[in-house]
A and B are shown apart, each in its own frame.
Chain A
Amino acid sequence: MKLTLVLLLPFVAYLGWLIWALVAYPVPLSYNLRSLWQRKLSSLSTAAAIALVVGIFVVVLSLAQGLSQAFVSSGRADQAIVLRPNARFELNSSIERDRMRILKVHPLLKRDENGPMASAEVVVVKLFPMADGSDTNVTVRGLETEGIVMRPQVRLLQGRWFRPGLSEVVVPRKMQGRFQGMELGRSLRMGSRNWEIVGTFDAGGASYESEVWSDANDVMQAFRRESYSSMLARLETPQRLEAFVEAVDGDKRLKLEVVGETAYFKELTKAGDPIKILGNLITLILTGAAIFAAMNTMYAAVAGRTKEIGTLRALGFRQREILASFQWESIFLCVTGGIVGSGLALFANGIQTGTTSFETFSDVSFAFTITPGLMAQGVAFSLVMGLLGGFLPAWRASRIPLTEAMKGG
């Protein structure tokens, strides 16, 4: 972080000077903008190439962000997940019924009108047919009523919640388009049983939007599981978490492990890392290519206007004014491309996609979300391209000797 700041400093200082120059000097800016317009084809093609690169940048960024969001927005600081030691993830974990009985009445748990706030849950993975005909692994979570209350970000959109013992499921709204037969009232086939879809829900982008929910005991019976996977626990305050971790850790009857819910989901977010790294590499390399292209255009622009620059100098414009004005020309060129590119990225907005988290071994649905913030990043990115690509040509323009410029054909 510090390193990026140090690296950014010269940029920011230079940009500051440029802005100051805009106010302080009578920079021949309108002249520069008009000459961009004069070389329409050349300007347009450079801007278009930059627009494409910025478009890729914004889309890749939104992909990585959508993926991180799916996990990070899931955790609460005052909640914890109890797992078998070394299991690391719910899917790997198992907790027998007798241990669960001890755990569920743990004195450190927060209580509401229904008793201690804890939900014994079972997580299995089941192949579901997707809309395109192929199958993918989907997490099926069996939980207790308290488990729904403990996840306030989850909202029922249609129908009602499942009732225990009736083989009913609720499905996330997001899965409906991507998977076959997920409509309300249809039935799903799981563990040699038909399960009626009685409701749909939304979890504000959290990873629960990739899970099918039902009653814990129903799921355990259907999948022939004798043990739960994990327990979600709410504590009085986030500060109690540590005490709970120690209490469970020290209890010889349990031999279980407690992980804070926030930490748990943070670990899961790492599923998006390869895509993020790849995306960053691609954009970095393509940025290099775009800067070269911008530089080429600007050099050509400068070379073609030697005489004009000479005239400007003869009129009394100083070298640094020429530098600033040509730098602005390049920035304007690139930022135009950047704005168009960010706009192009909007076409990807809302496209639903999914990937598999190899940690949970199941599908994670997420959408490309092009936020204004990401678009601003895209434009800022094009500004950097304009700065880098335009600096050398603008420098050259400002150093052209007056006599030569006047001579130049």
Chain B
Amino acid sequence: MRWLALIWKSLMRSKRRTLLIVGSLVLSVFTVAVLQSLLTTLNAVTDNPNSSNRLVVRHKSGLTQMLPRAYEAYLRQQPEVETVCALQWFGGYYQDPRNFFANFASDEATLFETFREEFGTAGITEAQMKEYIRDGAGCIVGESLAKKNGWKVGDVVPLTGTIFPINPRLTIRLIFKSPKPSDENVLHFHTKLLEEGVPRMKGLVGSFWVRAHRPEDIPRFLERVDRHYANSAYETLTETENSFNLAFVKMLGNIGAIIQGITAAVVVAILIVTGNTMATAIRERTTEIAVFRAMGFSAGRVLSLLLAEGVLLVGVGGLLGVLLANLAANAVRGTLGAAMPFFADFAIQPATAMACMAGALGIGVLATFIPAYAATRRPITEGLRAVG
């Protein structure tokens, strides 16, 4: 305990210096924590345990090409398949084109079964589901989306089509809650509405989302489907939902490399700055350290005291930085989360926070060791003579 008091005293020797270096550390650790969390949040999209049972069948040429509805029959016949739901990205907007949210034309009958986890089916009653299935011009929306736009069950939502030349007026039949906030930023309506409104969509669907009984069956199934439709007029590309999502994350470009590059640069910068500050702090105390040694403190003890000082300094800076990042993440979730579904899941994961702290403490030890070691190696007599 008395060591701690001593360390604290040393840190408070120059309050301004300590404050400035802590400020510098807080900002740096904050940046790194936020950037790394951005990366983990992105990666979480492609490693979603909820989707391990699902896979996506789409046209080999890409998402803008359609598949014949007739493929559904073949998919259903496969022994691994539990259920199949056709999904078409509608890309419509409500009132303002900037007001982006995901909206799909989907098979109303199998939707809830296929995306069981996302709909948190427990909260939805059979009657509500039937209500939506019965109303051909009905739609379902996630709770956060409904809240953002002030929608209630029974309201009519006019969507303006961008990809398709129809502007459906949809009645909200159900507002669902999802375990993951990002899954609530979505609207579904009946696929028939699209097929009847757009002649070129007759008998075509964008993609099939297949739910398998067991995840182990998926690899065999993927290969079989693509082989079956190889060299046909509509070749397929079948992949797991996670790898389908991965393609979207990769579309952002090599964000990972950019973030890692910035992180590396920031780490080196903090190392240099902290090292410099600690060196100054220790140089200032040359005489003091010599006095300590003369009083009988061993070189090792003095070294450990100095190291503890560096670690405490960086530890405080790191901790504040991580806390600040956490506050920022909460703010982002509350504000941007409504606009961009990806940000709804943005959080500083405990693992990221721990990694940042560990990194900061490592830097503290590394940055202090060299000047501290040099200081303790200095002959006592020389230190006592030095003008500090």
Contacts and interface: CB of A to CB of B under 8 A. Distances in A.
Interface string A276-309: 0000001001101110110111011000000000
A84 B163 CA distance: 9
Q: Interface size for chain A: under 10, 10 to 19, 20 to 34, or 35 or more residues?
A: 35 or more
Contacts of A288: 23-24, 27
Interface in B235-267: 235, 237, 247, 250-254, 258, 261-262, 265-266
B251 A356 contact: yes
A181 B20 CA distance: 54
B162 interface: yes
Interface stretch (B73-81, B109-117, B208-216, B271-279): B271-279
A59 B266 CA distance: 14
A180 to B, nearest CB: 15
Given A286-B266, A289-B27, A223 B65 contact: yes
B21 A42 contact: no
B355 interface: no
A300 B280 contact: yes
B62 A127 contact: yes
Interface string B278-294: 01100000000000000
B30 interface: yes
A373 B31 CA distance: 26
A297 B275 CA distance: 12
Q: Interface size for chain B: under 10, 10 to 19, 20 to 34, or 35 or more residues?
A: 35 or more
Contacts of A286: 27-28, 31, 266, 269
A253 B380 CA distance: 97
B376 to A, nearest CB: 18
A226 B17 contact: no
B377 interface: no
Nearest to B371: A41
Contacts of B2: none
A137 B161 contact: no
Contact of A137 (B63, B235, B279, B280): B63
Contact of B61 (A91, A126, A227): A126
A355 B253 contact: yes
A175 interface: no
Contacts of A126: 61-62
A52 interface: yes
B220 interface: no
Interface stretch (A17-25, A30-38, A43-51, A157-165): A43-51
A192 B235 CA distance: 9
B339 to A, nearest CB: 11
B91 interface: yes
Contact of B91 (A92, A289, A293): A92
B148 interface: no
B1 interface: no
A289 B25 CA distance: 7
Nearest to B258: A63
B160 interface: yes
A358 B102 CA distance: 12
B385 interface: no
A239 interface: no
Contacts of A376: none
B21 A292 contact: yes
A52 B268 contact: yes
B370 to A, nearest CB: 10
A86 interface: yes
A88 interface: yes
B141 to A, nearest CB: 21
Contact of B16 (A45, A299, A353, A409): A299
Contacts of A92: 91, 162-163
Given A282-B35, A292-B23, A356 B63 contact: no
Contacts of B24: 288-290, 292-293, 296
A125 B62 contact: yes
B165 interface: yes
Nearest to A368: B258
Contact of B64 (A135, A290, A358, A361): A361
A304 to B, nearest CB: 8
Contacts of A136: 247, 250-251
Contact of A127 (B23, B28, B60): B60
Interface of A: 41-42, 45-46, 48-49, 52-53, 55-56, 59, 63, 84-89, 91-92, 94, 124-127, 134-137, 190-192, 223, 226-227, 282, 285-286, 288-290, 292-293, 295-297, 299-300, 353-356, 358, 361, 363, 409
Given A46-B272, A286-B28, 8 more contacts: A52-B265, A55-B265, A88-B162, A126-B61, A127-B61, A135-B247, A282-B35, A354-B253
17 contacts: A42-B276, A45-B276, A46-B272, A46-B276, A48-B272, A49-B270, A53-B269, A85-B165, A124-B62, A125-B63, A286-B27, A296-B20, A353-B254, A354-B253, A356-B252, A361-B63, A361-B64
**4 A-B pairs with least C-beta separation:** A356-B251, A355-B253, A292-B24, A289-B27
